[in-house]
Chains A and B, each alone.
Chain A
């Protein structure tokens, strides 16, 4: 398709570049109002800068640290750790969820053990993990992967278990065997539940990473905040906290977009 055609189609589809609708901006009205009030409170002296720096101060700090490359560096390190933990923990969780969802024997073998491990708060392992891995990358990867593992494992298992048995019977009656049946019926049927696990897992991913970086690291956002506390640089501490909020929201938005795409057949997503 030529560029002219693409533009033409976009025009006829009612696409307008640039201007988002009032509707799509509405969810950001409350955060914007809070920032505004906060700024005003700081500017008029109700809120001391030594207790809570103003948004404009934090923004300036952010800009300064971005320009020096420091912030981007910490962000990149944290993002890479989060992603690695998500891939490892999520991958193992998905694989075990599938195995235990389709095989009774596999479930008998592993589920009890997994349920026992699940009941240990994974952050309680931090002292042990530091002794094992020191403050290297291994410690962070281990903790994030362990945290992400359970929501994805449990929701994959639950999703597979709850695929409509009538659809499975239909698949068998229409000649589908193990692999085809899994690909065409079981996995698509389990996807909505797997997405719930993924979104929940993303939350745990950030939480774990920040705690791990705060306690033992030499780079990353959590380390940046801890370092700033040592030197009483309040604006950097608050900047880090605001970044957590933004990153969490970003991860959730990306997952939702993916979910809408993959689950577009579902009436629950048809009108979004």
Chain B
């Protein structure tokens, strides 16, 4: 019997997408961070599965940005450990990429050269062109960042983050400074890229509806650590009412803190 007949028909055969990369696993064990005597994070346990899209929400000052900086390896935990694929986050190198609230493009480099900053090894014009096409900036390669709109700049920053096929994408409120319409387009783009490329994503945001639109799982962070956890199954579409209910539940958890 040919093997194709044993397989059920509806199994989606994974197609190797040009940007595809296996997602990284993130593990925090008893992770804590204090600044002087001020304890921002204490004894935090968190695991993000490969390919998962996790959002972290909470009031300002709850430590969500500190948490993201720990995972990015830009900051070291005072206690416990932060591992990316089993390696300390600050040594995970280019397995992870970070997108900031601002695009942070080099103003003196063309859009293509800015994207090339994200490459792991030497120049690779094809990879750069591919990444620019994926964020619909294929025709802007030779432009200066100053010639782009705010949304285009943030898309160039996304291409820079993804050009090296990272296993983990960290997003630090990357859409916070965009107008509402551009923000919706960017959300769709990020979700699309995540589904096609398969990287693990961790998003920090104060916008709960954005977290609901993008994530597989949302945690609410507060002074006492993780206050609540919500999973959103992505295998079926949700009605607006369902999404609104999820959002209301998360907001309750934030304000209960």
- What residues of chain A have their CB less than 8 Å away from a CB belonging to chain B? 166-167, 169-176, 184-185, 188-189, 191, 263, 265-267, 270
Contact of B146 with A169 in the complex, beta carbons under 8 Å: no
8 new A-B pairs (CB below 8 Å) besides A167-B104, A170-B104? A167-B106, A171-B117, A175-B94, A191-B108, A263-B108, A265-B109, A267-B146, A270-B146
Q: What 0/1 pattern do residues 105 to 132 of B give for CB contact below 8 A with A?
A: 0111100000001101000000000000
Nearest chain A residue, comparing its CB with the CB of B101 = A166
A188 touches B104 (CB 8 A): no
Q: Report the separation of the CA atoms of residues A263 and B145 in the bound assembly, to the nearest whole angstrom.
A: 13
| Shortest Cβ gap from A189 to chain B (Å) | 8
Residue of B108, B117, B144, B160 near A188 (CB, 8 A) is B108
- Whether the pair B102, A166 counts as a contact (CB closer than 8 A) is yes
A266-B107 in contact (CB<8A): yes
Q: Given known contacts A173-B72, A173-B98, is B146 in contact with A265 (CB within 8 Å)?
A: yes
- Taking a contact as CB atoms under 8 Å apart, the answer to whether B118 and A174 are in contact is yes
Min CB gap A194→B, angstroms: 13
Contacts of B118 in A (CB 8 A): 174
- With A173-B72, A265-B144, A267-B146: A166-B100 Cβ-Cβ less than 8 Å: yes
Q: What is the size category of the interface that chain B forms with chain A?
A: 20 to 34
A216 CA to B107 CA in the complex, in Å? 48
CB neighbours (8 Å) of A185 from chain B are: 106
Query: In the bound complex, do residue B93 and residue A175 qualify as a contact, i.e. CB atoms below 8 Å apart?
Result: yes
**Complex Cα gap A263–B146 (Å):** 12
Complex Cα gap A169–B118 (Å): 14
Q: Is B16 at the interface (CB under 8 A from chain A)?
A: no
- State the CA gap A188–B98 with chains docked (Å): 23
**Contact string against A for B residues 69-110, beta-carbon threshold 8 Å, 1 for contact and 0 otherwise:** 000101000000000000000000110011010101011110
A174 to B73, CA, bound (A): 11
CB distance from A203 to the nearest CB of B (A): 26
Query: A189 CA to B160 CA in the complex, in Å?
Result: 20
Main secondary structure of the interface of B (DSSP, over half): loop
Q: Is the CB of A188 within 8 A of B106?
A: yes
Chain B residues close to A by CB (< 8 Å): 72, 74, 93-94, 97-98, 100, 102, 104, 106-109, 117-118, 120, 144-146, 160
- A-side binding surface: helix, strand, loop or mixed? helix
Query: For B109, what are the chain A residues with a Cβ–Cβ distance below 8 Å?
Result: 184, 188, 265
7 A-B contacts (beta carbon < 8 Å) = A172-B74, A173-B72, A184-B106, A188-B108, A188-B109, A266-B107, A270-B146
The 10 closest A-B pairs by CB, nearest first: A170-B104, A188-B108, A265-B108, A265-B144, A267-B146, A173-B98, A166-B104, A174-B117, A265-B107, A175-B94
Determine the residue in chain A with the shortest Cβ distance to B161: A174
* Min CB–CB distance A186 → chain B (angstroms): 11
Cα distance, A172 to B72, chains bound together (Å): 11
Question: A172 to chain B: closest CB distance in Å?
Answer: 8
Q: How far is the CB of A89 from chain B (nearest CB, A)?
A: 26
Tell me which residues across on chain A come within 8 A of B98, comparing CB atoms.
173
Q: Which of chain B's residues has its CB closest to A189's CB?
A: B108
Q: Who on chain B is nearest to A167 by CB?
A: B104
CB-based contact B93/A266 at 8 Å: no
Q: Which residue of A lies closest to B145 (CB)?
A: A265
A270 and B144 alpha carbons, distance in the complex (Å):
10
Q: How far is the CB of B100 from chain A (nearest CB, A)?
A: 7
Q: Given the complex, which residues of B lie within 8 Å of A266, measured CB to CB? A: 107-108, 146
Give Cα A85 to B144, complex, Å: 36
Cβ of A173: which chain B residues have Cβ within 8 Å of it? 72, 74, 98
**Shortest distance from the beta carbon of B174 to any chain A beta carbon, whole Å:** 13
Chain B residues whose CB sits within 8 angstroms of the CB of A175 once the complex forms: 93-94, 120
Q: How far is the CA of A185 from the CA of B106 in the complex (A)?
A: 7
Q: What is the minimal beta-carbon distance from B122 to any residue of chain A, in angstroms?
A: 13
List chain B residues, Cβ under 8 A from A265.
107-109, 144-146
Report the Cα distance A185→B118, complex, angstroms.
14
By a CB distance below 8 angstroms, the chain A residues around B94 are 174-175
In the complex, which residues of chain A have a beta carbon less than 8 angstroms from the beta carbon of B144?
Answer: 265
